[in-house]
Structures are given as structure tokens and as C-alpha cells.
Amino acid sequence: MLTTALDKDNIFISQLIHTSASLGFSSFSYSLFTYNHRPNIFLYNNTIWALSKFNAPRAILLFKGIRLLGLKPDNYSFPFVLKAVVHLLDDVVGRQIHCQAVSCGLDLDCSVVTSLVQMYCSCLHVSYARKLFDEITSKRVSLWNAMIAGYAKLGDMANARSLFDCMPEKDKDVVSWTAVISGYTQADNPNQAIALFHRMQLHNVNPDEIAILAVLSACADLGALELGEWIHNYIEKHKLHKIVPLCNSLIDMWSESRIVRKDMRNAGVEKKPGVSFIEVNNRVYEFIAGDKLDVSCVGTFDVLHSINEQLKMVCPKTAHRGPLDVDD
């Protein structure tokens, strides 16, 4: 690279920095930047982006050095450095960068405003975020999503849903739907999460991994196994079964009935035993679940286990749910 003078090619160095950072080599990315003695704003932006996640303090210092070289931050510089601010949750630095955006005349740029909204929401200043949001007359989908997600993450589902309902239907994408569905799940409102998921299906919006995780959690909370089974089939159909979090959520959902049963026992909640009638050797017995005192129960249990084994053969899909609990 040195012999071909590529180390002085800002475009080549920027691409190399971007690639190395994508592979997780942020320190190497910064080393590449330091070798260049005449960086332009394009090179600065790529390096700030590379450092924003793994070395946020250095990314902010690098941003502050832009003007020292007589360069001017552009509408890429601010979103990249604001990512670093979000990682640090430093609202003081965030406001300083906001002031610089105003001085550069980029405070109404939609991509910059979107990043500012995300920053203010992350730093718990949602009122500042909403003020910026309202000042933009022509809103992109990303800005809508940032504000909705900001409300949802803070647990303000009333404002999140209100804003979602105000959003033009044609602009709603999977991120918009998922933000509200996940918010309902995190706010312990599984009914609303599932209802909105059904509405999402009616609008022919395919759920992403995050939406599926949220709805599986809601299904587990409510015991909505029919919807859970539909999602299970969806995961199989779209070959998502190798995603570990989804597999874990499926396990949690299918085991929820046993967890509820255990919690009932721990809380001292008793379920009245069910009464059934069963014929054994041409004689009808009244059988109460869990009643093992009668000698005749021996034959009754044999019949029940025989039925259970036959059901497994006819409906192998129920095998993963475990044997029938004859005590119920």
C-alpha cells in the first residue's frame, strides 16, 4: 500500500476502514486513519462511524477535531457521532453536538434530526425529542420510527400507540409495527401485543425476528398456543429455527403450561379434580383425577396409559409436549 501511494488515497483508506470495522477491527481502523496526513470529511466520517460502537469516546474526540483542520461536519458526521453519544448516554455532549448541528445549518436535516431524536430518547429527554420531531414538516419513515420506538422503550405506550396511529398507513414498515408490539410486550400488555400482531398480518407485513420474539413472549404469558403454533410453523417455513433466541422463546412458550401449573402449586391454588367415566371389563367406573385409593384404579390407569400411547401414534406432533398427566 505504501509503495503504490494508496495510503494517500482517502477513498481507498475509507473503504478499508469501513471493511475492517465491519469485521470488528476498530483499533486497526483508527490506525489506518492516523497514517493519513490529509484526511477529508469523507475519511473522518468513516472513521467516526467505525469507532462509534467500540470506542465511543475516541469517536467524539475525532469529531471535535474536524473543525481544527478547517473542515465542516456534514449530514453524515452528526448521525455517526450521535451513535457514540447514545452508547455513552452522555446528554451533555449530545446537546453540544446539537448546537453544532444548528451552527452548521443541519438542525432540520431529517437524518440529523432522526439521530437527535434517538439520542434524546436514550438520555430520557423525550420531550426534547418530540419537540424536534414536531418541527419537521416532511417526515421520513425513519423519523417516525425513531420517535415511536423512543416512547415504547420508555414504557409510554399511550404516546407510542397514538403516534403509530397518526403515521400514514403507506409509510408503516416492519420496524414501525415491531416497535409498538415489542413495547406492549415489555409493558406486560400481551393482549395488545397479539392484537396488533394480528392487524400487522392483515396489512401483509412480514414480521422480523424481533417481532416474532415479542409475540412468542406474549403467547407464553397468555397461553395462546394456537397463535404460538402458527408462529412455530412460520419459523420453520422461513428457516429461522437456527436463530438461538427464537428457539429459546419457543421452548419457553411450550413449557409455559407446566410453569403455570408449578406456580399454582407453590401459591397453594388447587384445581378441582375432574370427573370422568370410563369402561373397564364391561363395567363403567366414575373416575376422579388423582384418585388412587380404589383398587379398581389399577385397571383404569392401564386403560388411560393405553389411550395415551395410541394418541402418540396418531398425533406424533403432541409428543414434544410430554405425556398426558393422568393426575389432571
pLDDT in tens, 235-282: 777 666 555 565 555 555 555 555 555 555 666 666 566 556 666 666
Task: Please list the residues that pair with 279 across neighbouring strands.
Answer: 284
Q: Which H or E run contains 276?
A: strand 275-280
Task: Please list the residues that pair with 275 across neighbouring strands.
Answer: 288
- Encode pLDDT of 59-108 as tens digits: 999 999 998 889 999 999 999 999 999 999 999 999 999 999 999 999 99
> Is 1.25.40.10 the CATH number for 1-138?
yes
Give the lowest-confidence range in 6-10, 64-68, 212-216, 251-255.
251-255
Q: What is the mean pLDDT of residues 285-295?
A: 54
Give the lowest-confidence range in 65-69, 135-139, 217-221, 302-306.
302-306
Report field, pTM of the whole predicted structure over 0.85: no
The C-alpha atoms of residue 217 and residue 223 are separated, in whole angstroms, by 10
The cell for 280 is 373397564
Looking only at Cα atoms, what is the longest distance across the chain? 99
Per DSSP, the residues of 175-222 read HHHHHHHHHHHHTT-HHHHHHHHHHHHHTTPPP-HHHHHHHHHHHHHH
Mean pLDDT for the chain overall: 80
In the chain, domain spans: 1-138, 275-321
The C-alpha atoms of residue 13 and residue 20 are separated, in whole angstroms, by 10
Q: Could you give the C-alpha distances from 168 to 138, 142, 147, in angstroms and in order?
A: 12, 13, 14
Q: Identify the residue with better confidence: 24 or 186.
A: 186
